Each structure stands twice: as structure tokens, then as C-alpha cells.
Amino acid sequence: MPLYKNLNPKRRADKRTLERLLILREKLRNQIPARSQSKTLLLASWNIRDFDKPGFGARLDESLYYIAEIISCFDIVAVQEIYRDLAALNKLMEILGDNWKYVFSDAAEGRQGNQERIAFVYDSQKVRFGGLAGELVIPPLERKVKDEQGNTTTVLEHLGQIWRTPLICGFQAGWARFMLCNVHIQWGDSSADAPGRIREIEHIAKFLKKRSEDPTAWARKLILLGDFNIFSRKDSTYQVLEKAGFRCPEEFKEVYTNVARTKQYDQILLRERKDRFEVLSGGTFDFFETVFRDDDEETYKPYMVKKGDGSMYRSYSQWRTFQMSDHLPLWLELQIDYADEYLKTKLADA
């Protein structure tokens, strides 16, 4: 449970926050399974829009409480679009409380990197960081070529830097030891099958397929998740993931993760193998049904100023996505208690 001690009901904004938190908590209880200590793992991925980029103004404290409330429903959350200045993330962690920890990447430089970080935020009472943490660097592609004399040589083809370097980390929860790779794939092209986006996804998927088959890998189980900027699972951007053996659970086949519910940008993908996780349930959560609702526009008009230049946002619907996000959190409930299976295996070996 997040820390609410700094909310003072005598202040109008805080009173509104407390009232909305009660409504938000009820909706979360109705839509997301209760967390357990050892039987299941609740995993989520959430692109929190420009968190917290100065050009769009700082988020209201109210928004941070709502974001913390949503995150606290899960055991571990992969977060994308964290700005290089960690002030907003640190404030969020203060609200979540001392049991919540994080691991984050360095900021991606250049226009393509957009000064973004990616991170894992997790409840250390349930999830333990395993020590593995690294930014994914794709090695050169090796090609065999023959010269005029028929001699074969190996040529290294450098694939280029991924715009925002993926973050891979190892964790343990209950019986489960697993690796998570958090990605934010190329943005900016209106084409569903943008060649650059396909290349990034393909290189990452092939690399992780090989890594998951490596007997010396930190863990056998590997989940690839994040914002892939995939328009539809019918597109080539998703098909290259399937070709590498990554699949989205059936629960996600018709799930759309942008606020408008028109795109399947975000994914949580499991490798097809015998010892993969068992999926129990999954879905998205639409926070705008309870906070920053359509009929709240008049309430928030005084806040709808871009802090940098003093101009107003074009619309309330745009402004509120910079308070919460233009993406919905995507989540999975996974079984992690395999005690019965283990005991049966022991008996079978007798």
C-alpha cells in the first residue's frame, strides 16, 4: 500500500485525491487479481508518457499518487519513457514506500534516444533482484563469404545501435527464477511495418532466443516486454517475434494498449518452451474511467498550462495523458508455485 500521510483533506486538491483514490482502489480490486505472497506473480508493463519531461510541465502530486496506486497492485512493473532527470521517479518511489526498489538504465542520448531511461520497479518483499543487470548490445552479424580463389572468410556486419538500449535483469520470486528484457522500440514512423522498427525487433528477438537457449544463462525463463510500437499483431513487426519463438498469451490476442484502444503497442511475450510460465490471467487497466475522467475537464482547467512557455494545452484529452499516460498498463498473472509438480517429480524418480 502506498504512503498517503502527506495528503491533507483540508486542502481541496488533496481531498479530491483521497476521494478518487478510494474509487480507483475499488476498480483495481475488481479488475486485477489480488497479490499473493508465493503462489502467483503479477507482472506489468507500462509506458508512462514522458515521465517527467520538463517541456510538458511537472505532473501534479495527485497524478503521482494515482500512478503509485496502480503500480502497487503488481509485484513488478517494467516502465518505459522515464526522463533522464530521475526526480519524478524518485518521488514516485517515496510514495510507494521503502519496500519498493528499482533498477534503471542510463539515459539514451541523441534525438533518437530522446533522453529516456527504462526501468523495473518491484516490491522487494515479494521479488528479489538476482544481480543480473545489463543493457543489451547486439553483436555484429557474422557472414561467410568466398573470395575469388574460393577461400571462405568471416565478415562482420555491424547492425547499428538500437535507439533506446534494452535493459535485461534477473529476478526471483517464490520458485521462479527469471530474466526480464524491457524494450522501447523505434517510434516516429506512421507506417505499421516501418523497416527500422522491424530490424530492431528482429535483432533483439534473435539475440534473446539464443540467450534463452544458452545453458550458462542466469535463468531458463525469459520474458520480453515493453513498448514495441506494434500497430497490430497481424503486422510484420509482430511476425518476426513469432518467428523467434516469442508469443503473446491468448489473453492478449484482442487487447489494445493505447488510450484510444486502436493499437497493440505494448507486449508481454513468453518464449515457447516446455518450462515456460503458466499464464493464469491478464489484461489492461483503463485508469481514465476513474481519474481525470471525461467530465472532469472544468476541474482541471486551471492546471492545463505548459510550464515551459505558459501556453495552454490544446485539449483536456491531450493534457491528461501527460498527467497519467497515453498507454494503458498491460499485465499478466503467472503461476510461480510449483511445489506439487516438484513433489510428483521426486516420487517419479523413486
What is residue 189's predicted lDDT score, i.e. its pLDDT?
A: 67
Work out the pLDDT band at 307, boundaries 50, 70, 90: low
- State the CB neighbour count (10 A cutoff) for residue 282: 22
What is residue 147's predicted lDDT score, i.e. its pLDDT?
A: 73
User: Picking from 167-176, 210-219, 340-349, which range would have the lowest pLDDT averaged per residue?
Assistant: 340-349
Higher pLDDT, 167 or 38: 167
Q: With left for phi above 0 and alpha for psi between -120 and 50, is residue 115 left, alpha or beta?
A: left
Residues of the chain above pLDDT 90, percent:
70
Give me the phi and psi of 176, to 5 degrees please. Answer: -95, 130
* Whether the Cβ atoms of residue 185 and residue 197 lie closer than 8 Å to each other: yes
Work out the pLDDT band at 192, boundaries 50, 70, 90: confident
Distance, CA of 73 to chain centre: 14
Distance CA(84)–CA(109), nearest Å, equals 9
What is residue 308's predicted lDDT score, i.e. its pLDDT?
A: 60
Distance CA(45)–CA(284), nearest Å, equals 10
Grid coordinates standing for 96?
A: 510507494
* Whether the Cβ atoms of residue 285 and residue 328 lie closer than 8 Å to each other: yes
* Residue 310: pLDDT over 80: no
When pLDDT is averaged across residues 323-350 and rounded to a whole number, the result is 89
Work out the pLDDT band at 18, boundaries 50, 70, 90: very high
When pLDDT is averaged across residues 300-311 and rounded to a whole number, the result is 76
When pLDDT is averaged across residues 193-214 and rounded to a whole number, the result is 91
Residues of the chain above pLDDT 70, percent:
96
When pLDDT is averaged across residues 58-79 and rounded to a whole number, the result is 97
Structural domains of the chain in order of their starting residue, each with its CATH number = 12-134+166-348 (3.60.10.10)
When pLDDT is averaged across residues 40-65 and rounded to a whole number, the result is 92
* Whether the Cβ atoms of residue 287 and residue 321 lie closer than 8 Å to each other: no
Distance, CA of 306 to chain centre: 27
What is residue 344's predicted lDDT score, i.e. its pLDDT?
A: 83
* Residue 34: pLDDT over 70: yes
What is residue 309's predicted lDDT score, i.e. its pLDDT?
A: 63
SS3 261: coil
CA angle 302, 305, 310 (to 5 degrees): 125
Q: With left for phi above 0 and alpha for psi between -120 and 50, is residue 310 left, alpha or beta?
A: left
- Summarize pLDDT for 220-268 with one digit per residue, the tens: 899 999 999 999 999 999 999 999 999 999 888 899 999 999 999 999 9
What is residue 322's predicted lDDT score, i.e. its pLDDT?
A: 94
Handedness of CA 201, 265, 177, 246 (dihedral sign): negative
When pLDDT is averaged across residues 3-28 and rounded to a whole number, the result is 97
What is residue 153's predicted lDDT score, i.e. its pLDDT?
A: 78
* Residue 55: pLDDT over 90: no
Distance, CA of 196 to chain centre: 21
User: Picking from 2-6, 83-87, 152-156, which range would have the lowest pLDDT averaged per residue?
Assistant: 152-156
* Whether the Cβ atoms of residue 225 and residue 187 lie closer than 8 Å to each other: no
Average of per-residue pLDDT values in the chain: 91
User: Picking from 122-131, 189-198, 231-240, 330-339, which range would have the lowest pLDDT averaged per residue?
Assistant: 189-198
